[in-house]
Amino acid sequence: MAGFVDAVTTLINGEAGGSTRDWQVAYELYLAALRDPALRAVTEDWMRRSRAVLERFVDPVTARGVDALIEGLVMHVTLSTATFSRAETRTIVARFLGVAP
């Protein structure tokens, strides 16, 4: 489970290849989907594929929670004017999963 915590931490802190611009586009899509129900199928497919990857490591319910945690923490990292350290992120992820940080 420590490897999974590290991988999720890496993803959240932008060290997995995704750029801030990638996340901006994702959040713009989510906002547009709130206003246009036709786009909800696109966002649901996106979230389903994300959960499918996570389900390789955890059960489906936990995958859904981790997916939401990732998106929420990325939003905090992206929007915060303060620093958000990798250690803080790792502690949050570990606590969420019920493992020692």
If phi > 0 it is left, if psi is from -120 to 50 it is alpha, else beta; for residue 82 that is beta
Report the predicted TM-score, pTM, of the whole model to 2 decimal places.
Answer: 0.84
**pLDDT (tens digit, 9 = 90+) per residue, 72-97?**
998 888 887 888 889 999 999 999 99
The torsion defined by the Cα of 24, 25, 30 and 36, in degrees rounded to 10, comes to 140
For residue 57, the model assigns a pLDDT of 95
In 3-state terms the chain splits into helix, strand, coil percentages (rounded to 5) of 75, 0, 25
Q: Are 84 and 76 in contact (CB under 8 A)?
A: yes
Domains of the chain: 2-97 (1.10.357.10)
Determine how many CB atoms are found less than 10 A away from the CB of residue 12: 24
Mean pLDDT of the chain: 88
Task: Inform me whether the pLDDT recorded for 69 exceeds 80.
Answer: yes
